[in-house]
Amino acid sequence: MKRYILLTLVLTVIVIGPFAYQKWSEAKRLQHIRETKQLASQIQATPLTDYLHQLKQVSPDGTPLLLFTGNTHAQLEPCGCFIGQSGGLPRRAKAIARIRETGFSPLLVDLGGIQPSQHPSMKPHSFESDNLSTENEVHSRDQHRVQTTLTAMKMMGYDALFPFDAETEIVQNREVDVSFTLLGSELANDSDSYLIKTVNEKRIGVVALSINDTTEIASFSDRLNSLLSAVRAQSDFVVVLSHALPEVNRALAEKYPNLSAILSPYEGETEKVGDVLLAYCNAKGKTLGALILTDTEVDIQQIALTEQVSDDLEVRKLLDDFYHQVATDHQLQIVSHRLFSSEPFEQDETNSYIGSQACQECHQKEFSQWSHSSHATAFNTLRTIGREHYPECITCHVTGSGYESGYEIGNTERAHLVDVGCETCHGPGKQHVYTPLKENTRGQVPEKVCMACHTPEHSPGFDALVEQVMPEVDHSRSELSLKQILEQRMRGPMKPEIELFVMSYCPYGVQAEQELLPFFETYRDTIDFKLRFIVGREEVSEEKTSEQVKFTSLHGEPELIENKRQMVIAELYPDKLFDYLLCRADHLQEAWVNCAKEIELDVARIAQAVESEKLALELVKEIQRTKELNIKGSPTLVIDGRIIDGGLWRGKVKETCR
């Protein structure tokens, strides 16, 4: 008897063991990915709420506060590529406003470096192709960014900007009328190199130390001597804004122990030389530096500008206007750099990009795997947040940007090159499609191909994760379940958008609702669910006004009305939509009011809304969306703009209404 039990036990372990192990190791892998990403994206800075709390413990009277930024490179805001990103003009403006609300009226300075940083592959020799811009054209979008930055700084109430020598010209030729002081010896004489301001009842002298052409400490020292002689007598505290290298700053701190602080636009670790504080900036406006000066001590902190800080609405609008301008002006859409400039396949001018669709016929398995990955929805991401015309974003979210035959903003003939398609990893595919050989495609995809896009700026921690995530893209895994696909999408900052296309009287559509809604219910707060309807329109006249459109539906007028009803309920009672749909699924042949009453909806209100004019426009939108995605049958499931293979989710739903 014992032997049988033992045998059964051993057999069970043999049968279930591998599955259990697989599940366990997959869970571990995912956890490791999550933790590594989280750790890598952390920023060393104080959350704004904590900082405000600290300020509340201090009396603003007689306690001057100085806020500073530097090397912002006209970064308008972070890209939003990962969770926990910090920075952005709208958040900076909000943080400053919140600090002012505490009663402090800070001195606000920028230490220069407001021009966009030059990308390494933007050097002139890489501009040979017609598709790429000349330096001048890049310059014009950068110019706009600088102007937008200056305008935002004016809105925030900056007191001073100390531009680098190399950017005095761009600042002097600015189009916006700034209200803040421009500091710097290049601008004019000594009196333009300092600023004295009373801040919370104390006088702060801010001295601007340029690099000029020298790195000799003696000449910095001479310069500082003459400036300090003018400033010291009139100030309670003196702070130096220095463009010099850290070692020069250290030497100056030793020589002038009475300074309160020396601020540098570069990145570095805060340090103290005697009583003089040396502080640095986080590039690209990731944080806001904050310096509190008292007679006995200085307190320096970097304030985090993560998503916990909301946007200042006026600065938000300024940025939206900028993006709108880029979206409508072809000249501003020119791409400034391209990926893979050292990969031979991409440089072969006799080859060209052809699009992922062309590969499907012969590589169905790889295509299906890819189309469920987030690479296949990378452009949808940009569309969702309205950046599909912004060149700074498309480089890594499309295929072949910057190449002669690659994706081009606004060119409808290149629409098939959206997303991170097959050819981003395997190289341009035209020759291979016509003559399939191993030699004319990149069969081995080296890590450095991934790293071209998964840079620390956009995908922190990825370098340590390549091996763990490779199975997600190398087509080696068996097909994912719907749950796995959803959970993969939820790793990023964006909520996955689910669209279920049905006809409300189509029995298979209704079955799909029964199959899927309870599942989606468990993800309520982490997904964006939309029920969509497949309707038609009769082309009675050429007129496009909505009153003249006659809508049609496969199951006739009653279906059209039920569609409208469900649209109304989705709008008026979003939390009860699933309850209504599931109730209707069981009682489709009965009167709708029974279900409405059962879940306590206002029947009269719904009936009235169904008659509204506005609903016709909504139906037009449904038609547009089904056309856009080329959707024919009910039910169809779409995640982030991509149709999900029925095999993955249909379950008992065997048929389709067409």
- Which of the stretches 147-155, 174-182, 385-393, 648-656 binds ligand HEC when contact is defined by CB under 6 A? 385-393
Residue 375: CB atoms within 10 A of its CB come to 20
- For the bound state, the minimum distance from the C-beta of residue 107 to ligand HEC, rounded and expressed in Å, comes to 31
| Residue 449 within binding range of ligand HEC, rule CB under 6 A | yes
Nearer Cβ to ligand HEC (38/105): 38
Nearer Cβ to ligand HEC (232/458): 458
- For the bound state, the minimum distance from the C-beta of residue 385 to ligand HEC, rounded and expressed in Å, comes to 6
- For the bound state, the minimum distance from the C-beta of residue 466 to ligand HEC, rounded and expressed in Å, comes to 6
Using the rule CB under 6 A, which residue among 84, 492, 507, 646 binds ligand HEC? 492
- Which of the stretches 143-151, 319-327, 442-450, 643-651 binds ligand HEC when contact is defined by CB under 6 A? 442-450
- For the bound state, the minimum distance from the C-beta of residue 483 to ligand HEC, rounded and expressed in Å, comes to 15
In 3D space, the residue among 500, 483, 473 whose CA is nearest the CA of residue 563 turns out to be 500
Please say whether the beta carbons of 291 and 199 come within 8 A.
no
- For the bound state, the minimum distance from the C-beta of residue 79 to ligand HEC, rounded and expressed in Å, comes to 4
In 3D space, the residue among 655, 368, 318, 312 whose CA is nearest the CA of residue 502 turns out to be 655
- For the bound state, the minimum distance from the C-beta of residue 648 to ligand HEC, rounded and expressed in Å, comes to 17
Residue 216: CB atoms within 10 A of its CB come to 11
- For the bound state, the minimum distance from the C-beta of residue 499 to ligand HEC, rounded and expressed in Å, comes to 16
Number of residues in contact with ligand HEC, rule: CB under 6 A? 65
| Residue 238 within binding range of ligand HEC, rule CB under 6 A | no
Nearer Cβ to ligand HEC (230/648): 648
Using the rule CB under 6 A, which residue among 40, 58, 176, 445 binds ligand HEC? 445
Please say whether the beta carbons of 106 and 292 come within 8 A.
no
- For the bound state, the minimum distance from the C-beta of residue 489 to ligand HEC, rounded and expressed in Å, comes to 6
Nearer Cβ to ligand HEC (174/495): 495
Cα separation of 153 and 157, whole Å? 6
Cα separation of 117 and 140, whole Å? 14
Nearer Cβ to ligand HEC (438/627): 438
- Which of the stretches 131-139, 206-214, 255-263, 375-383 binds ligand HEC when contact is defined by CB under 6 A? 375-383
Nearer Cβ to ligand HEC (29/203): 29
- For the bound state, the minimum distance from the C-beta of residue 364 to ligand HEC, rounded and expressed in Å, comes to 9
Surface-to-core class of residue 154, CB atoms within 10 Å of its CB (0-12 exposed, 13-18 middle, 19+ buried):
middle
Using the rule CB under 6 A, which residue among 176, 464, 469, 631 binds ligand HEC? 469
- CA 650 distance to own-chain centroid: 33
Cβ contacts of 175 within 8 Å, gap of 6 or more: 147
In 3D space, the residue among 366, 348, 344 whose CA is nearest the CA of residue 357 turns out to be 366
| Residue 453 within binding range of ligand HEC, rule CB under 6 A | yes
| Residue 493 within binding range of ligand HEC, rule CB under 6 A | yes
- CA 222 distance to own-chain centroid: 47
| CA torsion angle 176 181 182 188 (round to 10) | 120
Cα separation of 9 and 4, whole Å? 8
Please say whether the beta carbons of 82 and 460 come within 8 A.
yes
Nearer Cβ to ligand HEC (454/565): 454
Cα separation of 328 and 320, whole Å? 12
Cβ contacts of 487 within 8 Å, gap of 6 or more: 30
| Residue 432 within binding range of ligand HEC, rule CB under 6 A | yes
Per-residue x/- marks for ligand HEC, 390-429, CB under 6 A?
x-xx-xxx----------------------x-xxxxx--x
Nearer Cβ to ligand HEC (433/610): 433
- For the bound state, the minimum distance from the C-beta of residue 373 to ligand HEC, rounded and expressed in Å, comes to 7
Using the rule CB under 6 A, which residue among 433, 527, 561, 657 binds ligand HEC? 433
- Which of the stretches 157-165, 313-321, 461-469, 526-534 binds ligand HEC when contact is defined by CB under 6 A? 461-469
- For the bound state, the minimum distance from the C-beta of residue 68 to ligand HEC, rounded and expressed in Å, comes to 25
Nearer Cβ to ligand HEC (116/509): 116
Binders of ligand HEC in range 78-137 (CB under 6 A): 79-82
Residues 170-187 as b/e (b if ≥16 CB within 10 A, e otherwise) read bbeeeeeeeebbbbbbbb
Cα separation of 86 and 33, whole Å? 21
- For the bound state, the minimum distance from the C-beta of residue 497 to ligand HEC, rounded and expressed in Å, comes to 10
Using the rule CB under 6 A, which residue among 98, 243, 387, 389 binds ligand HEC? 387
What residue has token string 């062309």?
358
Nearer Cβ to ligand HEC (141/564): 141
Surface-to-core class of residue 70, CB atoms within 10 Å of its CB (0-12 exposed, 13-18 middle, 19+ buried):
buried
Binders of ligand HEC in range 332-371 (CB under 6 A): 339, 354, 356, 358-359, 361-363, 366-367, 370
Cα separation of 189 and 199, whole Å? 25
Cα separation of 212 and 359, whole Å? 57
Nearer Cβ to ligand HEC (421/635): 421
- Which of the stretches 24-32, 472-480, 513-521, 600-608 binds ligand HEC when contact is defined by CB under 6 A? 472-480
In 3D space, the residue among 401, 386, 302, 229 whose CA is nearest the CA of residue 70 turns out to be 302
Cβ contacts of 225 within 8 Å, gap of 6 or more: none
- For the bound state, the minimum distance from the C-beta of residue 485 to ligand HEC, rounded and expressed in Å, comes to 11
| Residue 455 within binding range of ligand HEC, rule CB under 6 A | yes
Nearer Cβ to ligand HEC (194/390): 390
- Which of the stretches 49-57, 122-130, 254-262, 457-465 binds ligand HEC when contact is defined by CB under 6 A? 457-465
Range 408-413, long-range pairs (CB < 8 A, 24+ positions)? 408/131, 409/333, 409/335, 410/330, 410/333
Cα separation of 392 and 487, whole Å? 28
In 3D space, the residue among 261, 187, 256 whose CA is nearest the CA of residue 217 turns out to be 256
| Residue 462 within binding range of ligand HEC, rule CB under 6 A | yes
In 3D space, the residue among 249, 205, 251 whose CA is nearest the CA of residue 229 turns out to be 205
- For the bound state, the minimum distance from the C-beta of residue 560 to ligand HEC, rounded and expressed in Å, comes to 35
- How far apart are the two ends of the chain, measured CA to CA in Å? 60
Residue 6: CB atoms within 10 A of its CB come to 10
Nearer Cβ to ligand HEC (165/487): 487
Which residue is nearest to ligand HEC, using beta carbons? 443
Residue 577 Cα distances to 142, 600, 605, 633, 636, angstroms: 47, 12, 15, 22, 19
Q: Which residues would be at the binding site for ligand HEC (CB under 6 A)?
A: 79-82, 339, 354, 356, 358-359, 361-363, 366-367, 370, 374-375, 377-378, 381-382, 385, 387, 390, 392-393, 395-397, 420, 422-426, 429, 432-433, 436-438, 441, 443-445, 449-450, 452-455, 458-459, 462, 466, 469-470, 472-475, 491-494
